[in-house]
Amino acid sequence: MSLEAGIAVSEPAELRQERERQDQWIAENLRRVFIQIYRIVGNAADAQDLTQETFIKALQHRDQLKDSQKAAHWLSRIATNTAIDFLRRSRRASFCEIGAAPELSADDNPERLVLQSEHRDYLEDGLRLLSPRERAALILRDVEDMPAEEVARELDCSKATVRSHIANARTKFRRYLERRKR
């Protein structure tokens, strides 16, 4: 029940149930979508905004989902496209941290922690060199461990294009690492 202009208004049961189903669906998928977007854009605040945008798009276009069994893939594709569009719009070449910040314990060697941090920085710098599509393909394939077919569906391209994006990304990354060694 809600109040409108001081008058108690009862929400129809059918609408309330639909809203509750939507809330549950969002709660079940929120973390996965946020992590997927964060890995592509590399900024938590942007990832939060884009996660919200993803769910708004999904709810606005839910009538386009013909097979409820494919809802997770459909939502994942919306999330990927939203993140890629954001990167294109902002012309930012940022990327997420590959690993979480190291947890400190009494046994940790400070030198090892510094090396881990430097390696993470090298990875992030190298990934900034990639185009948004290359970055997304590489992350979905190598970090998310998606099969090439699924990456192709996510990016709405052929498997050959995915393989090309991944090969180009790996080549650029390898060259970057070779330059860093010198």
Encode pLDDT of 25-81 as tens digits.
889 999 999 999 988 888 889 999 999 999 999 989 888 877 777 788 889 989 999
- Which residue, 38, 72, 96, sits at the end of a domain? 96
pLDDT category at 93 given cuts 50, 70, 90 is very low
pLDDT category at 116 given cuts 50, 70, 90 is low
90: nearest Cα among 54, 55, 122, 128: 128
Asked if 77 and 25 sit in the same domain, the reply is yes
Domain that holds residue 22: 10-96
Asked if 126 and 79 sit in the same domain, the reply is no
Do 166 and 154 form a contact (C-beta atoms < 8 A)? Answer: no
Average pLDDT over residues 94-105: 43
| Prediction pTM value | 0.60
pLDDT category at 94 given cuts 50, 70, 90 is very low
Q: What is the pLDDT of residue 97?
A: 40
Reply yes or no on whether the pLDDT at 181 is more than 70. Answer: yes
Alpha-carbon distances, residue 21 vs 2, 25, 69, 86, 135 (angstroms): 19, 6, 16, 28, 34
Asked if 69 and 119 sit in the same domain, the reply is no
Alpha-carbon distances, residue 5 vs 2, 8, 9, 16, 145 (angstroms): 10, 8, 10, 20, 53
Please indicate, yes or no, if residue 85 is contained in any of the structural domains: yes
What digits encode the pLDDT tens for the residues 119-172? 667 777 787 788 888 988 988 888 878 889 988 988 889 999 999 999 999 899
Residue 172: count of CB within 10 angstroms of its CB: 17
Give the domain CATH number at 120. 1.10.10.10
- Which residue, 96, 123, 156, sits at the end of a domain? 96
Six-digit token string for 101: 């910040």
Alpha-carbon distances, residue 63 vs 18, 19, 49, 54, 67 (angstroms): 14, 15, 23, 15, 10
